[in-house]
Amino acid sequence: MMPALAMLVTTQLVHLSPVDFVIIAFYFALVLAIGFYLRGRANTGEDFFMAGREMTAWVAGLSFLSANLGALELMGWAGSAYQYGILATHWYWIGAIPAMLFLALVMMPFYYISKTHSVPGYLKLRFGEPSRALSAISFAFMTVLMSGVNMFAMAKVMQIVLGWDINFSIWVSSLTVAIYVTLGGLRSAIFNEVLQFFLICAGALLIPILGLYEAGGWGNLKVQIAQRASEQYVHLWSGLGSFTSNPMGIHWTGIVFGLGSVISMGYWTTDFLVVQRILAAKDIRSAEIAPIIGAGFKMLVPIIVILPGLLGLAVLPVKLVPESVAAVTGGHSYNDVLPLMLARYCGPGLLGLGITALIAGFMSGMAGNVSAFTTVWTYDIYRPLINSQGTDHHYVNMGRWTTVIGVLISVGTAYLVMQFASIMDYVQALFSFFIAPLFGTVLLGMLWKRATGPAGFWGLLCGTLSSIGMWTWVKLDPTALRYVALSPHAKALAQDMYQALWSFVVCVVVTVAVSMVTEPVPDSQLRGLVYGQTEIPSVGNVPLHQRPLFWAGVVVVVFFILNIIFW
C-alpha cells in the first residue's frame, strides 16, 4: 500500500487552459465517434477480429507501428534514455528494423496464406493443439500485464502534469478504449491507431524542437550531457566493448544476439499484438509492404522518444531516480522525464496538444493489447478448449465481453510496474519470458520440416520456464547475475537480453532433440506451413519501385548510415 499511497502525493506542474480542455475533449469525442461509426461493420467474426482483411498497405503499416507506439514507448523509452543515454536507441534500430524486414520478406507469406487469425493459430496448424494452447495462454497473460503498463504510464502523466486523481485518469481513458474497441473491433482499433499516430507525432515533436533550441543544438547538448553524466551517454556503439564502459552495463553481444537476434525478432514476428495488424491487409503485397512502411517510420521515432530523455539529462534541474525509490521518497522517477519536459516547454494550446498526444499513445497501446487479447482468447482458448460449437454471432459477442473484462483485469496489473526501476525493465523481462522462446518455436516450425508436434510444445514450455527460472534465480541470489548475463556488472536490461538469448537456445535445443526421437510429420501436412513445402505467392508483375524487396533495401541503407553517424 505504501507505494500506492506515495503515488497520490504529488505537486501539480501545470494548469490546463480552456483551449487545452477543448482539444482534449474533442479528441475523446472523435475516437468514440469512430467506434460508433464502425459498429455496423463489425457483425461477423472476420470483421470484428480481423477488420475484414481489407486494409491497405499504408493503413496496415501505420497501425502496425502505432500499436507499438503507446504510452509505454513514449514514457518508457524516454525514461530509459535518461537512465542509459542514447543506448536506448538500439531498441528502435537494431532492435526493430531487421526484425520488421524479416517479418515482411520471410514470415508474412506463411501467416497470410494460412489465413490464420493469430500466431497461436499458426502453431495449431504446424504443431497441434497443445502448442496453440500453451502459446495462447502465455500470450493472454503477457498482454494483460502489458496493458497495465499503459494504464500506469497514462496515470503518471495525468498525475504529474495535471495533478489529476490517479484513479480518475485510469478509468476515464480505459473505459474510452473499452467502448470503441467493443463497438468496432479491430477495424475501430486500426483506424484510431492511424489517427493516433499522427497526433502522437504532432504533439511529441514539441519537446525535441523546443529542447534543442534551449540546449543550443545537438553539439551543445552532447557537451552538457558529458558534463552532467558521461560522454558515453551519446555514443551508440563505441562503449559496448566491455560491461563497465557504458551506462547500461551491457556488452555488444547482448545487443546484437540477445536484442537484435532474439527479443526483437520474437516481438516483431510472433507477438500477435503487432502481427494482427498486418494480417488485416487486403492482399499479399500489402501484407509484405506494410512492415517495411512501418520500419521506415520506426527509424525516425527516436526523435520524439529518445531525444526528450537526453534533453532531460542536460536541462532538468532535478535528478531523477528509479520508480521504486520515487514511490518511497516522493521524488520524480526516470519514467517522469517526458511529462516533466512537457510541463517545461508547453503553454496553453500547446499543452493541450502535448497531453492529447500522450493520451493517444496510451489509447493506442491499450487498444492494441486489448484487441489482440480478445482475439487470442476467443479463437485460441475459448473456442477450442471451452465451447467449440458456438455460432459466429456468439463468438463476436464473446469478443465484445472479453474486451471489457480484459480492460478490468489490466487495471489491477498497473501497480505491478512500481516494483521495477523503470517501465522498460518490466517490459523486457516479460518479453524474455514469453516472446523469445515463442520465436524459437515459430522459426523452427517455418524453416525446418523435421520439427514435430511434441517437440514444438516441449521446446516452447522449456524455453519459457528457463527464462522465468533465470529471473527468479537472480532475484533470490544477485550473485547469479555473473552466470546469466556473463558479468557481475550487468544491469537490469542487460540481464533481460541474455535471459532471452538463453531461453531461445533452450527452446531450440529441446525442440531439435525431441524432434529427432519423435515421428516426423508427413510432407503432405506441411504444405502452406513450411519453407520447401510451400509455393510462395508472387506480388505480381509490378514495377521495381513497387516491390517490397526494393524498399526493404532502401531501409537497410538508411539503417546502416544512421548507426555509423551515431557510432
Q: 3-class DSSP state for residue 113? A: helix
Task: State the pLDDT confidence band at 23, using cuts at 50, 70 and 90.
Answer: confident
For residues 252 and 104, is the Cβ–Cβ distance under 8 A? no
The confidence score (pLDDT) of residue 272 equals 67
**pLDDT 10s digits, 419-458:** 555 566 667 777 788 888 888 998 898 889 899 999 999 9
Q: Which residue has the higher pLDDT, 283 or 7?
A: 283
Instruction: Summarize the confidence of residues 500-505 as an average pLDDT.
Output: 91
**Average pLDDT rounded to a whole number, residues 246-256:** 85
Per the structure block, which three cell numbers stand in for 307?
531525444
Q: Of the ranges 5-19, 276-290, 385-399, which one carries the lowest mean pLDDT score? A: 5-19
Average pLDDT over residues 326-348: 77
**C-alpha dihedral (314, 319, 325, 331), degrees to nearest 10:** -120
- Going by pLDDT thresholds of 50, 70 and 90, the confidence category of residue 515 is very high
pLDDT for 451: 92
Percent of the chain exceeding pLDDT 90 equals 13
Cβ contact 268:108 at 8 Å: no
What average pLDDT does this structure show over 169-179? Answer: 71
- 99-108, 139-148, 448-457 — which one is most confidently predicted on average? 448-457
Of 558, 557, 435, 407, give the one whose Cα is nearest residue 496. 435
pLDDT in tens, 28-76: 788 778 777 776 665 555 555 554 466 778 888 887 787 777 666 777 7
User: Cα separation of 282 and 205, whole Å?
Assistant: 32
| Mean pLDDT value across residues 484-510 | 86
pLDDT of residue 485: 86
Cβ within 8 Å of residue 335, ≥6 positions away: 75, 76, 79, 153, 156, 323, 422, 423
DSSP labels for 177-202? HHHHHHHHHHHHHHHHHHHHHHHHHH
Per CATH, the number for 2-415+539-565 is 1.20.1730.10
pLDDT at 507: 94
Res 19: pLDDT = 83
Look at residue 326 and tell me whether its pLDDT is greater than 60.
yes
CB neighbour class for 44 (10 Å; exposed up to 12, middle 13-18, buried from 19): middle
- What nine digits make up the cell of 47? 470483421
How far out from the chain centre does Cα 288 lie? Answer: 20
Instruction: Put residue 23 in one of left, alpha, beta given phi > 0 → left and psi -120 to 50 → alpha.
Output: alpha
* The predicted structure's pLDDT at residue 173: 67
Show the cell assigned to 151.
494504464
Query: Which range is least confidently modeled, 244-253, 420-429, 463-472, 480-489?
Result: 420-429
Residues 6+ apart with CB under 8 A from 312: 78, 81, 82, 320, 337, 340, 341
What gap in Å lies between CA 354 and CA 202, rounded to an integer? Answer: 8
Task: Answer for the pair 445, 126: CB distance below 8 angstroms, yes or no.
Answer: yes
Could you tell me the sign of the dihedral formed by the alpha carbons of 482, 484, 490, 491, in that order? negative
| pTM for the model | 0.77
Which three-class secondary structure state does DSSP give residue 486? coil
Q: Decide which of 536 and 136 is more confident.
A: 136
Question: Grid coordinates standing for 301?
Answer: 521515432
- With a CB cutoff of 8 Å and minimum separation 6, the contacts of 523 are 449, 533
Q: What is the pLDDT of residue 462?
A: 95
Query: Phi and psi for 411 in degrees, rounded to 5?
Result: -55, -40
Q: Which residue has the higher pLDDT, 237 or 191?
A: 237
- Better-scored residue on pLDDT, 283 or 289: 289
pLDDT of residue 558: 93
Q: Please, are residues 234 and 225 in contact by the beta-carbon 8 Å criterion?
A: yes
Specify the DSSP class assigned to residue 538: P
Give residue for cell 543544438. Answer: 217
Residue 8 has a pLDDT of 35
Higher pLDDT, 74 or 257: 257
What per-residue confidence (pLDDT) applies to 425? 67
Which residues lie below 8 Å from residue 446, measured CB to CB, with a gap of 6+?
Answer: 106, 107, 110, 126, 529, 530, 531
**∠139-143-144 over CA atoms, to 5°?**
125
Looking at residue 195, what is its pLDDT? 77
Question: According to the model, what pLDDT value does residue 6 have?
Answer: 36
* pLDDT for 511 beyond 90: yes
What region does 535 belong to: left with phi over 0, alpha with psi -120 to 50, or beta?
beta
Distance separating alpha carbons of residues 155 and 133, to the nearest angstrom = 33
d(CA 145, CA 426): 10
Given a cut of 60, whether residue 5 has pLDDT beyond it is: no
Mean pLDDT of all residues in 221-250: 85
Count of other CB atoms within 10 angstroms of residue 118? 26
Helices (H), 38-128: 45-50, 57-66, 71, 78-84, 97-102, 108-113, 119-127
Q: What is the reported pLDDT for 2?
A: 28
- Nearest alpha-carbon partner for 401 in 380, 416, 382, 421: 382
Cα(64)–Cα(276) distance, integer angstroms: 8
What gap in Å lies between CA 288 and CA 366, rounded to an integer? 25
Burial class (CB in 10 A: 0-12, 13-18, 19+), 535: exposed
| pLDDT more than 70, % of the chain | 81
Cα–Cα nearest to 342, from 84, 72, 13, 10 = 13
**So what's the pLDDT on residue 559?**
93
| Confidence at residue 510, expressed as pLDDT on a 0 to 100 scale | 96
Number of continuous H segments (helices) and E segments (strands) in the chain: 28, 0
| Residue range 412-429, pLDDT digits in tens | 776 665 555 556 666 777
Q: Residue 463 above 90 pLDDT?
A: yes
Top pLDDT among 44 and 160 is at 160
